[in-house]
């Protein structure tokens, strides 16, 4: 929309995410400050939208404390607290909702992606009852409500989320992925690669997009499709199917490790990541 129209979208402000200004800086304090100061140039918004794990942003993980503080700021200023769980939800981080561990209660939640349970397009917006002010017929449309996706989504919830077994399986696989990625970054990249993420939503920071691109292209030649994310496409993104077998999970990570080994051997020296905020 922005590219086509040639004008910027109005009425939104982007605030620094957890850790953006350094490890020891709580950016919710900055948000509280600009909302409390009438001369800040930031008008009080209707709500705050946040991902607990930024997918396309580079697998950045918000801490429990930061999410809790963000909810406090929203309540203080009368803002709707909205969690975008389209990528991180539906079990991706281990729990069905990615924010469960933090114990927060969003006013609105968005879900999609694997929600359909069978690869069918499906999305929902969950909201607190007092916010449900739709009038009859007000929210209908030609492409609303894929009937088959409703059926498959219900089947997925009934089969996978009737107890905690599937959740525990995801967490177990997530621990395996984390252990493998930590092992990989300790061996390759001259100590400049880092692993990041939660559950089955993880990645390797390869410092720059060129190196990450070489790794994904090498992996593709070896039979694995894997994407990148981050502002410079510098994160090799591990977004494995939640129902993947242990055998295929190991095989996939083995391929990535082989690709990384190949690229690092060819690349020679891996550059260090730029540190913008030195709080040491």
Q: Is the pLDDT of residue 275 over 90?
A: no
State the Cα torsion 224-230-234-237 to the nearest 10°.
-30
- The pLDDT score that the predictor gives to residue 12 is 87
Whole-model pTM?
0.88
Identical fold for domains 2-160 and 165-267, yes or no, is no
Extended strands (E) in 121-266: 124-127, 194-198, 201-205, 227-229, 235-238
Say which DSSP state 25 is in: -
Indicate the domain borders of the chain.
Answer: 2-160, 165-267
**227-252 average pLDDT score:** 96
CA–CA distance, 166 with 149 (Å, rounded to integer): 21
More confidently predicted of 121 and 28? 28
In this prediction, residue 143 carries a pLDDT of: 65
The dotted CATH code for 2-160 is: 3.40.640.10
Tell me how far apart the alpha carbons of residues 204 and 1 are, in angstroms, rounded to a whole number: 31
The pairing of beta strand 124-127 with beta strand 108-111? antiparallel
Joined tokens for residue 60: 């950045």
Looking at the domain that runs over 165-267, which CATH code has it been given?
3.90.1150.10
């Amino acid at each position: 929309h922005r590219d086509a129209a040639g004008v910027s979208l109005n009425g939104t402000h982007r605030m620094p995410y957890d850790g953006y200004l350094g490890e020891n800086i709580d950016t919710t304090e900055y948000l509280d400050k600009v909302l409390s100061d009438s001369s800040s140039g930031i008008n009080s918004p209707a709500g705050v939208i946040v991902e607990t794990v930024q997918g396309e942003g580079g697998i950045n993980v918000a801490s429990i404390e930061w999410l809790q503080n963000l909810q406090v700021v929203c309540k203080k200023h009368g803002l709707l607290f909205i969690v975008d769980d389209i990528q991180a939800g539906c079990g991706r981080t281990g729990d069905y909702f990615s924010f469960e561990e933090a114990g927060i209660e969003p006013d609105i939640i968005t879900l999609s992606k694997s929600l359909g349970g069978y690869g069918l397009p499906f999305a929902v917006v969950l909201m607190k009852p007092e916010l449900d002010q739709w009038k009859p017929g007000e929210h209908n449309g030609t492409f609303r409500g894929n009937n088959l996706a409703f059926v498959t989504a219900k089947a997925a919830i009934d089969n996978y989320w009737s107890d905690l077994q599937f959740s525990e399986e995801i967490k177990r696989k997530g621990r395996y992925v984390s252990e493998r990625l930590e092992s990989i970054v300790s061996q390759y990249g001259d100590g400049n690669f880092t692993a990041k993420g939660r559950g089955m939503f993880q990645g390797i920071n390869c410092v720059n997009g060129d190196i990450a691109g070489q790794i994904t292209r090498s992996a593709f030649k070896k039979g694995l499709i894997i994407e990148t994310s981050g502002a410079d496409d510098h994160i090799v993104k591990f977004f494995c199917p939640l129902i993947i077998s242990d055998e295929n999970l190991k095989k996939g990570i083995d391929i990535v490790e082989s690709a990384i080994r190949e690229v690092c051997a060819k690349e020679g020296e891996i550059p260090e990541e730029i540190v913008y905020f030195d709080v040491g």
